[in-house]
Chains A and B, each alone.
Chain A
């Protein structure tokens, strides 16, 4: 069965790029450009995994995670934080809210990200 991925990412170029890659790798990708939109999509589509940017317009990724964890319908969906904002305090907060990992975008190629996500989904 095709796995569903929700990508919450406000940078259009990056969003498109990762969507291309994940689609090509056989995933069904949903894009959201901000937290509220992401949350609505998560409730509607119940993705298998969420890739979450941290610096987002209006409410940031941490707020998104807090909302997600409070909603029993979607609270168990695994989340991978994915950002260029490399701040130790934010990383800790994301981990506390149950983010599986906090990946820095420039450290991985899209292919490497796909492999990591596949790993998570098979776990």
Chain B
């Protein structure tokens, strides 16, 4: 409700939103007043015949536009476009944009008998979690969005999902995988990244089988929500597989030096080193491992090796680093949506952005495709109808089979384990999509 705010603030707020219907009339009147031969500026009397004809020709176009503008689904996308997480925010945005463009060229999505246009409303929350929640609230109460794509990362999703839950608007989170995000009993939250234990348990089993005599491992985790949760899950999975966790270290956010942690880890002589963090942390850790001549037979890092930046920054040091992903371009799925197969998606993405997509971008597009499918199934763009459709959805897409579990997190995903060989990601597990074998670092 817009009660009580001074005009100037209302105007300032509305400037932030994209204009939906371009204003055509004022220029015509302006044109008319300028060309008025009588020298008077009165808009009505100064309209020349030329202008009247022009208006008559243009009006049907305007009318058609206004009419087709009637059905628009607005989707909120709060992203960290500035600040620490800006690179990740931009990736998510690319994932949405490529879908939005594909949908636009198909003239909108099919909801019942209408073709509904899609409008993405972005907001920059500056990598600051409370701002993310604020941005989401603003989008819902002021922007009239029917659904929200989650912000980047588990922490921000957890915080802003309380907002969407309160307002009963569905949120689709493409980049949140910690189970802790989904444990608040929210009915309106959905996530397209499989939980951490879907990553760690198969990983532990695979390594145990693939690496002879794997006895000890060392874990180094960054001390915030997702990396720490992942590290703890790995510890549990290792225990289940009878691998001894000789050392579990945590490093503070923004740590500049890992020498002490690495020195201590090296002393335990682990067979397998498992490191979690964001790309920048992992680059630093790998470099310092090399400086300290600390090596192990297997080095697994999450989530850096999925990104081009990691490979570029480390060069030869990135060789034989293994990792787990939630999606790879070589996956064999074929499904609904603007991109039939993973390969189609990768091709379209590369053509547009000049870089091979990684799982974060694919997950973002998957969220969009899933929302589209839900809208088509529910034949409505009402938030609650969308939510119900999402809850009961079971669909195959380029991203894989998508089915959300009772907590809202996807439960149908198989996470490929890969290793960097020759600067490329080579999938080593699961067996049905395997491309090569794990190479032990000697």
Bind each other:
no
B: residues with CB less than 8 A from A are: none
A: residues with CB less than 8 A from B are: none
